[in-house]
């Protein structure tokens, strides 16, 4: 099941320009004139011959006219339409923690995501093995800033302190947090605690899938 129709999908553009001051301002001025809303922007490439700026735009009343006006700018060398990240990679699940536990969570998450993606959804899984309270807390807080990130799995043997505080903070921002059953205060802070890492990965995907019959709101506070 696809959540996003072609009409609702953002307009994604790759613009190749010189790498110089004022370039982004010139591009966004044209976008503003067309009353389009920028929902994502990234400098995708930088090299001596120029740079590539990637935009995702919504509420674009006349895409062809916008592209024509961008092409008319002296600084623009090329404009290319691209499929949006939401269409290609979809929702993102982030797995953070110890390498062995992270690997096992990913086994479950990737297997379950494959089932849903075959049916038309797009769910991707990203990982970073980390140790240390400060690094882990920073990584947890950063999830709320990652484009399209909807869920975090904390996979380790001991997590607490500022990591737990970071979990509360990103849950307030709408990120679903699952935790392995571990020592420390993180399990008490998470939405859902699952002892088996493979099953935890499976349930993380089910929690964010549009087609799974799994309601995270009815599972909050439970331990499996």
Q: Are residues 210 and 100 in the same domain?
A: yes
- 101 with 64, same domain: the answer is no
Range of the domain at 77: 11-84
Query: Which of 78, 73, 82 is CA-nearest to residue 11?
Result: 82
> CATH number for the domain including 106?
3.40.50.10550
Q: How much of the chain exceeds pLDDT 90, in percent?
A: 79
Residue 53 shares a structural domain with residue 125: no
The verdict on residue 19 lying in a domain is yes
Boundary residue ending a domain (49, 67, 84): 84
pLDDT in tens, 52-98: 999 999 999 999 999 999 999 999 999 999 998 888 889 999 999 99
Asked if residue 6 is part of any domain, the answer here is no
6 pLDDT higher than 80: no
Across the chain, where does the E strand assignment appear?
11-17, 37-47, 50-58, 78-82, 91-97, 123-129, 149-155, 176-180, 192-194, 222-223
Q: Are residues 103 and 201 located together in one domain of the fold?
A: yes
DSSP state of 158: B
pLDDT at 214: 79
Label residue 120 left, alpha or beta by phi (over 0 means left) and psi (-120 to 50 means alpha).
left
Do residue 52 and residue 132 come from a single domain?
no
Same-domain status, 171 and 202: yes
The pLDDT confidence band at residue 1, using thresholds 50, 70 and 90, is very low
The answer on 71 and 160 residing in a single domain is no
What value does the mean pLDDT take over residues 95-115? Answer: 95
Determine the Cα–Cα distance for residues 167 and 207; give it in Å rounded to an integer.
Answer: 17
CB burial class (10 A; 0-12, 13-18, 19+) of residue 59? exposed
Kindly state whether residue 5 falls inside one of the protein's structural domains. Answer: no
* CATH at residue 43: 3.30.70.260
Length reported for the chain: 224
Number of domains forming the structure of the chain: 2
Q: Summarize pLDDT for 181-214 with one digit per residue, the tens.
A: 999 999 999 999 999 999 999 999 999 998 877 7
Residue 3 lies in a domain: no
User: In the prediction, which pLDDT does 8 show?
Assistant: 58
């Amino acid at each position: 099941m696809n959540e996003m129709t072609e009409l609702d999908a953002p307009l994604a553009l790759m613009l190749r320009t010189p790498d110089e001051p004022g370039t982004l301002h010139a591009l966004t001025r044209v976008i503003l004139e067309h009353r389009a809303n920028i929902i994502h922007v990234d400098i995708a490439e930088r090299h001596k011959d120029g740079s590539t700026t990637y935009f995702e735009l919504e509420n674009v009343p006349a895409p062809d006219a916008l592209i024509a006006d961008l092409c008319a700018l002296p600084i623009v060398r090329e404009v290319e339409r691209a499929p949006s990240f939401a269409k290609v990679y979809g929702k993102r699940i982030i797995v953070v923690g110890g390498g062995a536990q992270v690997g096992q969570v990913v086994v479950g998450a990737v297997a379950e995501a494959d089932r849903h993606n075959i049916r038309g959804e797009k769910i991707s899984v990203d990982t970073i093995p980390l140790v240390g309270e400060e690094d882990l807390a920073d990584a947890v807080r950063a999830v709320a800033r990652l484009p399209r990130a909807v869920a975090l799995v904390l996979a380790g043997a001991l997590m607490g302190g500022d990591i737990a505080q970071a979990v509360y903070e990103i849950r307030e921002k709408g990120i679903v947090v699952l935790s392995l059953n571990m020592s420390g205060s993180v399990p008490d802070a998470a939405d859902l605690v699952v002892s088996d890492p493979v099953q935890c990965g499976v349930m993380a995907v089910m929690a964010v899938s549009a087609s799974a019959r799994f309601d995270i709101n009815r599972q909050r506070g439970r331990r499996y």
